[in-house]
Amino acid sequence: MTGRLIRVRGQVQGVGFRPFVWQLAQRFGLTGEVLNDPEGVLIRAFGPDLDGFMQALRAEAPPLARVDALEAFPLDTLAPEAFTIAASQGTGAETRVTPDAATCPDCLAEIRDAGERRHGYAFANCTHCGPRFTILQGLPYDRAQTTMAPFEMCAACQAEYDNPADRRFHAQPVACAACGPKVWLEADGAETEAWLPEAARRLQAGEILAIKGLGGFHLAVNALDADAVALLRTRKRRPSKPLALMARMEDLRRYAQVTDAAEALLRDPAAPIVLLDKGPEPLPQDLAPGMTQLGWMLPYTPLHHLLMDALQGPLVMTSGNLSGEPQVITNAEAREKLTAFADAFVMHNRDIARRLDDSVERAAPPMVLRRARGRVPGTLPLPPGFADTQVVAYGGQMKGAICLVKNGQALLGHHLGELDEPLTWDAFLNADRDYAALFDHAPSAVAVDLHPDFRPSRHGAERAEREGLHLTQVQHHHAHLASCLAENLWPLDGGKVAGIILDGTGLGADNTVWGGEVLLGDYHGFERKAWLAPAPLVGGDMAAKEPWRNALVRLDQAGCEDRADSLFPDQPRAMLRMAAAKGLNAPACSSVGRLFDAVAALLLTLQGPQSYEGEAAMQLEALATRSPQSEALGKTWSDTAGFGTRPAIGTDALFYNIADGLARGGHTPGQMAFAFHQWVASHFAAKARALVTSGQAQAVALSGGCFQNALLLELTTKALGDVPVLTHRTTPAGDGGLALGQAVIAAAQHQAHR
């Protein structure tokens, strides 16, 4: 009988792939075996229609599977009499770990069905859903290597686990109320197993609950209760940063506009937070002051579904942590750190192996703002031309994330946060060890940001020296450019592109502070072709916290000092002007992020510090999108005809127009906010488009944190016209994607030197 050895590579372990293969073999009348090994799934198959069998392997794969490659080789051994599922073989981590997945429809139906044995059980799961990465402690992915190891399966669960025809065959977290983890509610030193009605009662009464989820604790309040929302903000000292919300789809539609694309993203197994426009019924303004959108997610664990069914209304679900610290993941840590916030705790006794925040995304235009639970440790294929090499890249100081490259794949790790915070830095070091161990990673090269004082840069340099590894220092904005190229599978030899890179700040190749550039480059290198005319960053980091500082220096540059005096009468203007004139802690900076801050300070009359990063820019975007958009004004401001070939994009006329508009009236702040967005888009697009039309670049890539602004992204794409445009869709445009760019640059450099 004809035989074939079939290798399946991709996300094929822990997703029900072997029982799927077994069932296909029965259908096609095949004999042989299927097993897991370090490279993925290995099949030995004998029978009449092996071509049809292989087509079905790819076309009918389980919901959580991702088949990257099928390889086939002839077999000339004797055919066995049956098709079996064999034991796993080998050690190592050439395959990948599956991200955590939201509760599937079958498991949801079971917990809601009074006739099912898992009715009301908060930990129901199967091979199509449930925890994966957040419970994994080591490879191979077997129950003994997860935080489910202490829970011995009962006879009924064991029978499901052993049956290839059951969807729980080898589902490592399989459990039921008789043998699995337990939930309780804890308050005032007392515990109750009747957690569900008590939690619902307390939420309806306006209390704050700390609820243990998949990747950590959330702080929850009734989203319809304005007093409860205000209490949460007061206790957490979070005055205005938007709060994430959770609701069932039928409830969510009352409060948000849900497009088909948004619904598909909300229902994705990753179950991210999705930014949605506000809907027909109002919610407390304090949920997201000044914003036109709210971040929504569907319940993604059985515990969440049970709670939302009992409450029948939306909940605030924000990270359970002290300000600036990582999310709490252990029961003991929750009691220690969240007691000041929470009136009660919903606890369970399944440990969380690693902390994961909720992912945050947009459906239109598609973009990932925070890559975390449900998306990691999913991998990205490297573009054509990259050889197999192992690289580790350590990202930047803000929105820390690590990237590993191995076997033609890039693993961009989860969002870690700002690495100045000691506990977040500890989490970074843990993630570095964790990923290396889980994926059997032994790099030959290390990539870091060019800034020598960033903690990840020092860490990477020390490791490279200690282990004798090649060290690549990557300029911040070159890394942004390369991350966009890599996500779009731009070939290693695909030619140069024009990169419009707009963000906060990054150390430039000339040792000045960059943040608004048009680069001409590829993975191998770059030239800085255009940039925003610099302005003093008075006070260094303070300029990022206090937008009025940026407004003052830009108005002064434009000859509008009197307008600055009238707008900021109570600020220490003379001291700032002296510092700017003498260059005292006032480095020249071309940051478009700080430009947004400056315009926001003028149009929103911001006097005090921002309460969270990006607050002013986000409010400016919201102001522009909710106002009648004056295309005519925008075109007047952004007329780039004849603005010359000078590389610096000056801002004097822009700020004169804004100052004049504020003084004379005639245009609303919202119209001027829109005109400003159009000004940025058109000026940078003109520079990049010229590089393409002259033949120097093959396409334009848009990257940097400013392109998480949907309006700016839309206007820039429109201004570029018919030139090819590359954007971020599955990796963050901001610093959360920086490590990916560093990794591919280092891989290209290492490859060239081999």
Of the two residues 91 and 198, the one the predictor is more confident about is 198
So what's the pLDDT on residue 609?
A: 94
Q: Please give the biggest Cα pair distance in the chain.
A: 91
So what's the pLDDT on residue 641?
A: 61
The pTM for the full model equals: 0.94
For residue 642, pLDDT beyond 60: no
Of the two residues 581 and 36, the one the predictor is more confident about is 581
So what's the pLDDT on residue 593?
A: 98
Q: Phi-psi category of 117—alpha, beta or left, where left has phi over 0 and alpha has psi -120 to 50? A: alpha
* CA distance linking residue 99 with residue 270, whole number of Å: 8
pLDDT band at 685 (very low <50, low <70, confident <90, very high): very high
**What average pLDDT does this structure show over 290-309?**
97
Q: Which amino acid is located at 566 in the chain?
A: S
**What average pLDDT does this structure show over 646-652?**
93
Q: How many residues does the chain have?
A: 754
* Ranges 274-283, 627-636, 715-724: which has the least confidence: 627-636
So what's the pLDDT on residue 275?
A: 98
pLDDT band at 323 (very low <50, low <70, confident <90, very high): confident
Q: What is the pLDDT of residues 397-432, one digit of tens each?
A: 999 999 999 989 999 999 999 999 999 999 999 999
Q: What is the pLDDT of residues 433-448, one digit of tens each?
A: 999 988 889 999 999 9
**What average pLDDT does this structure show over 607-616?**
93
Q: Write down the mean pLDDT value for the chain.
A: 94
So what's the pLDDT on residue 491?
A: 98
**Structural contact between residues 269 and 102, judged by C-beta atoms closer than 8 angstroms:** yes
Q: Strand 40-46 relative to strand 3-11: parallel, antiparallel, unpaired? A: antiparallel
So what's the pLDDT on residue 637?
A: 81
So what's the pLDDT on residue 310?
A: 97
Catalytic residues: 18, 36
For residue 640, pLDDT beyond 80: no
Spell out the SS3 assignment of 622-633.
HHHHHCCCCHHH
**What average pLDDT does this structure show over 618-627?**
92
Q: Where are the alpha helices (DSSP H) in 474-529?
A: 476-487
pLDDT band at 36 (very low <50, low <70, confident <90, very high): confident
**Structural contact between residues 687 and 471, judged by C-beta atoms closer than 8 angstroms:** no
Domains in the chain, CATH or no CATH each: 3-85 (3.30.70.100), 183-361 (3.90.870.40), 378-487+734-753 (3.30.420.360), 532-726 (3.30.420.40)
Q: Other C-beta atoms within 10 Å of 637: how many? A: 21
Alpha carbon distance, N-terminus to C-terminus of the chain: 46
pLDDT band at 628 (very low <50, low <70, confident <90, very high): low
Q: Which two tokens stand for residue 400?
A: 């820390």
Q: What percent of the chain has pLDDT over 70?
A: 98
Of the two residues 427 and 91, the one the predictor is more confident about is 427
For residue 293, pLDDT beyond 70: yes
* CA distance linking residue 221 with residue 208, whole number of Å: 5
For residue 478, pLDDT beyond 90: yes
Q: Phi-psi category of 40—alpha, beta or left, where left has phi over 0 and alpha has psi -120 to 50? A: left
**What average pLDDT does this structure show over 649-657?**
94
For residue 454, pLDDT beyond 70: yes
For residue 644, pLDDT beyond 80: no
CB-based burial label for 359 (10 Å; 0-12, 13-18, 19+) = buried
So what's the pLDDT on residue 91?
A: 62
